[in-house]
């Protein structure tokens, strides 16, 4: 099966087929929101603890507070559920089975990932073997990611926590980032040429209809408090049409917990870009995929550490996008766009503004933003996902008032216009988006002067407007027109 066929089977067959018109509506967003907050995040929390425990039940239990209701023997149910009733502890046999399943998949993934590293970056196998090695790596990565399901039955009986909160205090954020507030125009400085990290390219492999290689380089920003051992190494997947020289490049950043290089069907080259001979670069954000910290699931640190989590993420990833622009321009020639969906869009728009103060080779020529907002307080404090996960309460419990949060928001909100200008900026917004609220996205579009064919608004919510990008690819085509004009 080709890479594009895999993409179609994973996403397009469900959302772009006959049922797409029914599924891609706001009712599906409400269902998705409940599933993410009530199942995906709690299952991911248990999965991350299981990976760190490596099969040991006691080590797994130690990852949760002692007073966690399902962990403590004889803990009482809330009075509104059953007065005086007590919760039984989790059956250890059920936990042991789940841990064994995840540990087996972890070991299989480690073997496949080791083989992949050796083949693509080391002395490794010949070119004829690369596609098969990548397929094995991706299959084992997908199986490991999907192993969250081992905790599904346990989570239905009694929810795991969705986030292991570790809110950084205001003093810690001030010490790390306070000085950057004094000169917002240069809050994301480009590294000096002599200090710019070396970009290491892997071998290229012909995988289905696409030629694929990977990049790795040292991140120019210091890792945050939640960073893992590999957090200072940035990664990106580069995809081109098979045997074709790209005429332009799009660097597209993923949303939170969307680890595109570890799930099947999420990294294929969109058809509109493939037809226009435009390459796609999919960077791996801090705290995701190979950059995930031990004991954390992908993207959890952005949530768990509060204000510091989001600032640390952008502090690293914004400049990484600029370095990828410079690499693409030197490697392929032609114009380069940046963009993203959700968290990726929030990052790309800050990069597009910071680029006004970067060297010319790092400045993007165009910008694509999907499900974005220009008001981060709306997403962090009033967004529906933040409320479902308990973010406002967690921040308040650690002394973060709206005013204190607001003081640091200029570091993660776009300052000034994008370096590429409004005529080269494409936005796709969901009119029913209440995760990154629609009003904030529209306010940004008006402030920048994005309108006409460059602004698409669909009667969808946050998740459906993002999924709809795979089906109604007008924004991709408009971006291609801009890049090749």
**Cα–Cα dist 272/412, whole Å:** 31
**Cα–Cα dist 290/284, whole Å:** 8
> Under 8 Å CB-to-CB from 467, ≥6 apart: which residues?
11, 15, 24
Q: Where are the domains of the chain?
A: 38-157, 170-484
- Say whether pLDDT at 38 is over 50: yes
**Cα–Cα dist 278/315, whole Å:** 28
* Predicted pLDDT at 226: 44
In CATH terms, the fold of domain 170-484 is: Rossmann fold (3.40.50)
* Predicted pLDDT at 83: 44
Q: Model pTM greater than 0.85?
A: yes
**Cα–Cα dist 97/304, whole Å:** 28
> Under 8 Å CB-to-CB from 364, ≥6 apart: which residues?
251, 321, 325, 336, 337, 338, 351, 352, 355, 419, 420
Query: What letters, b where the CB count within 10 A reaches 16 and e where it falls short, cover 160-170?
Result: bbbbbbbbbeb
Average pLDDT, the chain: 90
Distances (CA, A) of 135 to 117, 212, 289, 293, 484: 13, 12, 17, 25, 33
> Under 8 Å CB-to-CB from 41, ≥6 apart: which residues?
162, 163, 297, 389
For residue range 93-141, list pLDDT tens digits in order. 889 999 999 999 999 999 999 999 999 999 765 666 999 999 999 999 9
Helix (H, G, I), strand (E, B) or coil at 23: helix
**Cα–Cα dist 419/422, whole Å:** 9
Give CA 171 to chain center in angstroms: 27
Distances (CA, A) of 211 to 102, 131, 241, 265, 428: 32, 10, 6, 16, 28
Residue pair 224/305 in contact by the 8 Å Cβ criterion: yes
Average of pLDDT values for 470-477?
Answer: 90
For residue range 131-174, list pLDDT tens digits in order. 999 999 999 999 999 999 999 998 887 789 999 999 999 999 99
For residue range 322-357, list pLDDT tens digits in order. 999 999 999 999 999 999 999 999 999 999 999 999
CB atoms within 10 A of CB 19: 11
């Amino acid at each position: 099966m080709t890479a594009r066929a895999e993409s179609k089977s994973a996403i397009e067959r469900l959302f772009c087929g006959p049922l797409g018109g029914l599924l891609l509506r706001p009712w599906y967003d409400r269902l998705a929101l409940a599933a993410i907050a009530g199942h995906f995040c709690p299952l991911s929390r248990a999965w991350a603890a299981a990976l760190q425990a490596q099969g040991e039940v006691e080590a797994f239990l130690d990852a949760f507070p002692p007073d966690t209701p399902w962990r403590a023997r004889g803990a009482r149910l809330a009075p509104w559920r059953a007065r005086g009733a007590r919760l039984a502890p989790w059956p250890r046999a059920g936990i042991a089975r789940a841990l064994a399943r995840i540990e087996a998949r972890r070991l299989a993934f480690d073997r496949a990932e080791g083989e992949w590293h050796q083949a693509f970056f080391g002395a490794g196998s010949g070119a004829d073997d690369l596609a098969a090695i990548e397929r094995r790596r991706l299959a084992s990565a997908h199986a490991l990611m999907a192993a969250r399901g081992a905790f599904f039955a346990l989570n239905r009986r009694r929810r795991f926590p969705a986030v292991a909160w570790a809110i950084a205090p205001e003093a810690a954020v001030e010490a790390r980032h306070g000085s950057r507030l004094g000169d917002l125009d240069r809050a994301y400085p480009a590294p000096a040429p002599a200090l710019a990290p070396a970009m290491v390219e892997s071998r290229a492999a012909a995988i289905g209809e696409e030629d694929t290689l990977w990049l790795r380089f040292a991140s120019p920003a210091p890792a945050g408090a939640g960073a893992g051992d590999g957090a200072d190494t940035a990664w990106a997947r580069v995809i081109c049409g098979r045997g074709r020289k790209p005429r332009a490049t799009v660097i597209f950043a993923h949303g939170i917990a969307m680890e595109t290089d570890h799930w099947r069907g999420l990294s294929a080259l969109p058809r509109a870009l493939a037809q226009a001979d435009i390459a796609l670069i999919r960077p791996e954000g801090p705290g995701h995929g190979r950059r995930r910290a031990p004991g954390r699931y992908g993207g959890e640190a952005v949530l768990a550490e509060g204000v510091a989590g989001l600032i640390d993420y952008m502090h690293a990833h914004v400049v990484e996008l600029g370095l990828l622009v410079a690499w693409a321009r030197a490697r392929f020639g032609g114009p380069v766009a940046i963009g993203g969906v959700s968290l990726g869009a929030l990052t790309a728009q800050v990069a597009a503004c910071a680029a006004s103060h970067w060297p010319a080779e790092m400045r993007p020529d165009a910008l694509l933003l999907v499900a974005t907002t220009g008001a981060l307080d709306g997403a962090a404090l009033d967004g529906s996902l933040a409320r479902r996960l308990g973010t406002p309460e967690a921040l308040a419990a650690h002394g973060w008032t709206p005013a204190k949060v607001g003081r640091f928001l200029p570091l993660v909100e776009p300052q000034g216009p994008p370096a590429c200008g409004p005529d080269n900026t494409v936005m796709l917004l969901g009119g029913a988006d209440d995760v990154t609220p629609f009003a904030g996205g529209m306010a940004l579009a008006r402030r920048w002067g994005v309108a006409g064919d460059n602004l698409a608004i669909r009667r969808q919510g946050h998740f459906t407007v993002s999924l709809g990008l795979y089906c109604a690819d007008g924004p991709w085509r408009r971006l291609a027109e801009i890049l090749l004009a």
